[in-house]
Amino acid sequence: MSQLIIPNHYRPLLDMQQTEQGIKQIKDFFQQNLSTELRLRRVTAPLFVLKGLGINDDLNGVERPVSFPIKDLGDAKAEVVHSLAKWKRLTLADYGVKPGYGIYTDMNAIRADEELDNLHSLYVDQWDWERVMNPEERNLDYLKQIVRRIYAAMLRTEYMISEVYNVLTPSLPDEIYFIESEELLQRYPGLNAKERENAIAREYGSVFIIGIGNKLSNGEAHDLRAPDYDDWSSPNSDGYEGLNGDIIVWNETLGRSFELSSMGIRVNKEVMLHQLQLCGKEDRENLYFHKRLLGGELPQTIGGGIGQSRLCMLLLKKAHIGEIQASIWPDEMRQKCSEVNIPLI
């Protein structure tokens, strides 16, 4: 409860019926725009995968996946996905998708270790997308080009929903600002990572922080990343390290930074071996996904996840993600939200 943000004099701009309609309009419109921008085809995705294949993501490396035994497989364990970063790359290889094209899907997950607050729920829903690229496109310019296309789809969606409901005023800036995580540290040396995100998002409105996962000059990473999907350790033409990052915007309703997407150019053989070594995870080389990558069977890709409830929450000016999705919340949080005009579904 100490993490619950209560905006002053908050009242929802849309009632619950309008909110449900707005959610559908945003989701339908944005995914069509994302598909068009990046030439993505929709595919069906799993809710769970077999344990021990290296397909599930371990995110920051500390989250416990929800698992269960499968009776007809001799009680082999399945895990509810954390995200689909590695599954998507396998799918692109198996479908034979060519460079310049990709896939997207609805990713639904359960993250039992989340600390529940305005932004974080046990239930995670996002658009997971992945696009095949040419190896020579492994550079910062290509990453920025893709980020700008995704941001353009967000801007169009914000305009659309503000036309449908005139009480919703657009607030996103026309352009997204790019900054490398080390440069961000040097700009705000006295702040921790989350405080730096708040400062840069407040200043520019929307920002893409480049290079998340590698240690900075202060000996700490801006945030943690698994070693086997995003490339967070490769030097690039500007001298920075890392070809991944987060799209973060300023949320006026909550008065804080607000992450909408984590994405990046994916590891190749050399980068994955390097990052596994950095993290002491060399034993993963024998897992199914990792052997296929090391054997040259997987295409070079770029991909990421875009929060569905997060985007709806931002564009509908909601104070709590529980106004967008049905989930489980502590009784104390539900009671407090009820008292301050935050109607949780």
| CA quadruple 133, 60, 34, 153: dihedral sign | negative
Asked if the model's pLDDT at residue 271 lies above 70, the reply is yes
Catalytic residue among 35, 126, 261, 300: 126
Mean pLDDT confidence for 42-55: 89
Determine the straight-line distance between the first and last CA of the chain, rounded to whole angstroms: 18
pLDDT band at 167 (very low <50, low <70, confident <90, very high): very high
User: Does the active-site annotation cover 15?
Assistant: no
For the stretch 139-158, pLDDT in tens is: 999 999 999 999 999 999 99
Residue 2 lies in a domain: no
State the pLDDT at residue 196: 97
Catalytic entry in 114, 137, 259, 285: 259
Residue 61 has pLDDT above 60, yes or no: no
CA distances to 147, 148, 180, 317 from 177, rounded to whole Å, are 10, 10, 10, 22
175 is catalytic: no
88 in any annotated domain: yes
Which of 111, 131, 225, 266 does the annotation list as catalytic? 111
Query: Above 60 in pLDDT, residue 165?
Result: yes
Residue 239 confidence (pLDDT): 65
What is the length of the chain? 345
The pLDDT of residue 58: 64
pLDDT at 192 exceeding the cut of 90: yes
Whether 75 shows a pLDDT value over 60: the answer reads: yes
Please give the pLDDT value at position 15.
Answer: 94
Supply the pLDDT for residue 14.
Answer: 96
Which pair of tokens denotes residue 221? Answer: 């990473």
pLDDT at 53: 84
**Considering the domain boundaries, does residue 171 fall inside one?**
yes
> What b-and-e string marks burial along 257-271, b requiring 16 or more CB atoms within 10 Å of the CB?
bbbbbbbbbbbbeeb
Q: Please give the model's pTM, rounded to 2 decimal places.
A: 0.94
How many angstroms separate the CA atoms of 271 and 246, rounded?
Answer: 20
Residue 57 lies in a domain: no
Average pLDDT, the chain: 93
Is there a catalytic annotation at residue 246? Answer: yes
The dihedral built from the CA positions of residue 239, 222, 225 and 311, taken in this order, carries a sign that is negative
Does the residue 53 lie in any domain?
A: no
Helix or strand (DSSP H, E) at 86: helix 85-95
Please tell me which residue in 262, 275, 325, 327 is annotated as part of the active site: 262
The confidence band for 2, taking pLDDT boundaries of 50, 70 and 90, is low
According to the model, what pLDDT value does residue 112 have?
Answer: 85
- Write down the pLDDT at residue 65: 85
* E runs forming strands in 71-176: 76-80, 102-110, 123-132
87 falls in which pLDDT band (50, 70, 90)?
A: very high
In the annotation, is 72 catalytic?
no
- Domain, as residue range, for 210: 16-48+83-339
- Token pair, residue 227, equals 């070693």
| Residue 223 counted as domain residue | yes
> Does 128 map to a domain?
yes
Query: Annotated catalytic residue: which of 246, 266, 275, 309?
Result: 246
Give the per-residue pLDDT at 82: 83
Tell me, what CATH number does 321's domain have?
3.30.930.10
Asked whether residue 131 is assigned to any structural domain, the reply reads yes
Domain count, the chain: 1
User: 111 an active-site residue?
Assistant: yes
